[in-house]
Structure 1
């Protein structure tokens, strides 16, 4: 797949008729999209855990700062749900950071400790698991009208409350999701 056709650094916006419970009413940031498949993080579906819950498991001898109780963890699809990912602006390197252009994706514990200790990136999204598509699967879902796509916007990722991200991403396309129907018309 040529880079021009890649959905890397795009949002996938679930159509209102999306029946898959992992993706219904979600917006997903696409980390990678190539001929081998796709990987993304759902950015608007917190799972009920917070950073303090995770830190209590990673370093139980140390009480997490109170701020960590207000930092949500997002559920990001059915793949590797026990693995953590932190999406943040690029420029900050941790033990395992993949540069994605203007963003970085860190998978090592040191980024979580840095956030908790006030030394981490100023903007971030913490996720458990990821959304994955096999080769050709995402393209088939797009043809089946399961998703809308648009270029990603860091302000939607980091500046908006999670419950506003879906509609804000759709608004980038001039779409009001509440006005869409799951019925198809045929002439």
Structure 2
């Protein structure tokens, strides 16, 4: 008995998964990084780095620069999301598992979404909005087949995302935690790619 394509998730689609940089990753922007894949298709992939905080950028000051008045803003962490469009902001946040997604919101999983509209910043500035949220500046992007090639070259491992990886603040521990979640001891990894 075969199932229809809509019943079976695409095993090649990495949306909602994390990429874990292998020790041999030579690009300094991604060394020891953990990246959440927000969108993946034949046209390429887009993700946000989860473990590069930007403590020099204050969320409240950023809101002021955007002309958004704050009266009860919660402290929202600002992170380096990736090298593409570093001046563009992306709010990664929790959402109800069921419901409609407004324009500007990309649902990544059942309870996780990415929003690029000013509305969510205004909500957060007034103490409203999602329970958990982080702001990423910039993103990581791959053209058609580029991410798959990097994975074949031993640049990335894939794994499941977790709230602590996404919203946790212990960034120094995220790379090792992501590897351990896949049953891998980080000290046993080699930077050299194997060939059969």
What displacement does 1:112 show?
A: 1.8
Q: Provide the residue aligned with 1:15 in structure 2.
A: 22
Q: Distance in 2 between matches of 1:158 and 1:174?
A: 22
Matched position secondary structure for 1:4: coil
The counterpart of 2:80, out of the listed 67, 75, 82, is: 75
Q: TM-score, normalised by structure 2?
A: 0.82
Unmatched segments (≥5 aa) in structure 1 = none
CA distance in 2, matches of 1:134, 1:145: 18
Identify if the C-alpha distance between structure 1 residues 94 and 100 changes in structure 2 by more than 3 Å, giving closer, same or farther.
same
Answer whether contact 1:52 1:65 (CA < 8 A) is retained.
no
Unaligned runs of 5+ in 2: 1-8
Q: 1:29 to 1:14 in 2, by over 3 A?
A: same
Cα-Cα RMSD: 2.4
Contact 1:94–1:110 under 8 Å retained in 2: no
> TM-score by structure 1 length?
0.86
Q: What is the distance in 1 between the residues matched to 2:22 and 2:57?
A: 26
- From 89, 100, 104, the counterpart of 1:84: 89
CA–CA separation in structure 1 for the residues paired with 2:152 and 2:91: 30
Q: 1:64 deviation in Å?
A: 6.6
Is residue 2:106 matched to residue 1:98? Answer: yes
CA distance change for structure 1 residues 166 and 185 in 2, over 3 Å: closer, same or farther?
A: closer
1:71-94 residue CA offsets vs partner (Å, 9 max, x unmatched): 321111111111110111223866
CA contact (8 A) 2:91 2:115 kept: yes
Number of residue pairs the alignment of both structures matches: 183
- Aligned-residue offset at 1:184: 4.8
Partner residue of 2:5?
Answer: none
| More displaced stretch, 22-31 vs 84-93 | 84-93
CA–CA separation in structure 1 for the residues paired with 2:26 and 2:177 = 21
Q: Secondary structure at the match of 1:165?
A: helix
